[in-house]
């Protein structure tokens, strides 16, 4: 009886540890840079650029028989350059990073708006203006 209770408790602990483990980000941020300037009309503008690290591509050795697991990994591999969902995830992450960068530099203290988003391979650029 005590062994069953102990096993149930251990199982519950292991299960909760698996549930609470956060998903790893599918990309790593290589660098981020905030550029600021004032327009001729006095508006405070910004451009925030976030670049992710380049991912190595899975290579298949076609000289030998390909295992099922290697083929599955090759087929399911996603890269920021090719994946709309990863681009959206990076864009969401860039918005969070932008907020922190603006606070750190005490820029746009009355809020801001993002007016344009540009993509270039492993990079997203958010452009906008402060609510002055």
Residues 53-84 have pLDDT tens digits of 876 554 555 666 666 665 555 545 555 555 67
- Which residue from 77, 63, 79 is spatially nearest to 122, judged by alpha carbons? 79
Rounded (10°) CA dihedral 90, 118, 101, 42: -160
Q: Is residue 90 a contact partner of residue 50, using CB atoms and an 8 Å limit?
A: yes
Residues 109-118 have pLDDT tens digits of 999 999 999 9
Distance CA 15, CA 24 (A): 18
pTM: 0.65
């Amino acid at each position: 009886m005590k062994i069953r209770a102990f096993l149930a408790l251990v199982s519950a602990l292991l299960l909760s540890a698996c549930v609470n483990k956060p998903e790893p980000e599918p990309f790593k941020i290589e660098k981020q840079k905030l550029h600021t300037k004032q327009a001729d009309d006095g508006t405070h503008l910004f451009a925030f650029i976030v670049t992710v690290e380049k991912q190595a591509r899975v290579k298949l050795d076609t000289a030998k028989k390909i295992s099922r697991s290697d083929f599955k990994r090759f087929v399911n591999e996603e890269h920021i350059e090719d994946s709309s969902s990863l681009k959206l995830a990076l864009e969401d992450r860039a918005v969070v990073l932008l907020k922190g960068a603006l606070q750190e530099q005490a820029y746009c203290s009355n809020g801001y708006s993002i007016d344009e988003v540009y993509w270039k391979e492993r990079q997203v650029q958010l452009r906008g203006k402060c609510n002055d």
